[in-house]
Amino acid sequence: MFGTRSELLEKIRLGEDGFLELKEVRFAGDKIRGPSRGDLADEMAAFANSAGGALVLGVEDKSREVVGVPLEKLDALESLVREACEQSIKPPLAPTIERMTLPDTGDNEQPVIRIDVSRSLFVHQSPGGYMQRVGSSKRPIPPDQLARLFQQRSQSRLIRFDETPVTNAVMDDLDEALWKRFVPSQHHSSPETALDKLAMSARDDQEVWRPTVAGFLMASHEPQRFLPGAFIQAVAYQGTRALPQAEKAYQRDAQDITGPLDRQILGACDFVRKNMQVAARKRSAGGREDLPQFDLLAIFEAVTNAVAHRDYSMGGSKIRLRLFDDRLELYSPGMLPNTMTPESLPYRQAARNEALTSLLARCPIEDDALSAHRQHIMDKRGEGVPIILEMSERLSGKRPEYQLSDESELKLTIYSAQTESEL
């Protein structure tokens, strides 16, 4: 929602509506005087119970003026938001919380906090009760409407998110050449019916055919148009920290990798291939051999898993690839499905996006170096994580690590092989 900074600024200029709430943050000494935790919970729950929306903290709602939040108070404000999500909303919410800057009337950049709340598969209760968004305000949900909402949301949970229709998207938004990759050439049914069998299209509540999340992710050149976080943000840094260093550029390269998911995967591999260093190592028997920083097959498996298993219901959350001199970090939005833990990943399988994994298993690998490994992008036999761990450890001598952050993001760290100077 409001995928770019300019889109967000334009929405702020127009003022609050069904998808945008603005709040000035007031302080009394070191304490936050307003908004209260309960007020924040009501606003976020109302968005979740409706069609989703964004809450921007640090913007005055009447004047629409960016007033900002003091830098030293951002931590406390973010903690208050998380407490509201986890302690004041039932069931708890996991919105995307982003720190950013926006220009005030004098064109000075002011820190604000943006909170993106997706339409939920559940009905959420907050201190104000069961709330919904109506225009620019929140209101209690009438009892009869609440009963229907509980029924609708319980039914929708029976369908995986990647199989749900994309609101406001139409079938013509799908690229024919892209979706025909998955449809047998001899099919004689309508495109809607053929795609329905692949979980790439579905009827919405008004019986209108629409692309599903899976369909849009696999058969659109711009999936982020309706799914704002559906891309890979890749950055290659100088050194081992993501910080400016004196007058030197601290980023070697940066790219937002977009397009259908199979091309995002190969694009991310190309980014790593282009930016990683390749050293030379002396053979014990004489001669030299190339020593890349990372095993490209392991990177391919890691990116494939991130793209296939991330939580696409977390609107605005993107996969982040961070390349450093000593490691690669890959961040994938979402909790682990079912009872999976970081420790169990090498031994168990659990697919969050069944439709996506099936489609990726049909996509040929259009990369000569990687296609020697297997024919198709996705392997559904559960070999991906062992390959990541074993191939990377064989190259660098250090085993990759999985970590779950705030129950909302999975981080994979793959360590770099030593350069010749370090050997």
For 147-250, strand residue ranges (E) read 201-203, 209-211, 232-237
pTM confidence score: 0.63
In terms of Cα–Cα distance, which of 311, 405, 403, 300 is closest to 350?
A: 311
Q: Where are the domains of the chain?
A: 5-152, 159-225, 232-422
Give just the sign of the alpha carbon dihedral 351, 354, 357, 362. positive
- What pLDDT does 209 receive? 93
**Amino acid code (one letter) for 273:** R
pLDDT digits over 217-273, tens only? 999 999 988 888 899 999 999 888 887 766 667 899 999 999 999 999 999 999 999
Separation CA 217–CA 211 (nearest Å): 9
- What pLDDT does 368 receive? 83
Mean pLDDT, the chain, rounded, equals: 88
* One fold for 5-152 and 232-422: no
pLDDT above 60 (res 402): yes
Confidence band of 423 (pLDDT split at 50, 70, 90): very low
In terms of Cα–Cα distance, which of 222, 1, 224 is closest to 96?
A: 1
CATH number of this structure's domain 232-422, picked from the four choices 3.40.50.300, 3.20.20.80, 2.30.110.10, 3.30.565.60? 3.30.565.60
- What pLDDT does 284 receive? 67
pLDDT above 90 (res 205): no
Tally the C-alpha atoms within 13 A of residue 145's C-alpha that lie toward its C-beta.
Answer: 9
Separation CA 391–CA 415 (nearest Å): 11
CB-based burial, 267-284: b 16+ in 10 Å, e otherwise = bbbebbeebbeebeeeee
pLDDT above 60 (res 420): no
CATH topology of domain 5-152: 3.30.950
Q: How many other CB atoms are there within 10 angstroms of residue 15's CB atom?
A: 13
Percent of the chain exceeding pLDDT 90 equals 58
Instruction: Look at 30 and 141; give whichever has higher pLDDT.
Output: 141
- What pLDDT does 408 receive? 76
pLDDT above 90 (res 331): yes
Question: What are the tokens at 248?
Answer: 């030197």
- What pLDDT does 325 receive? 92
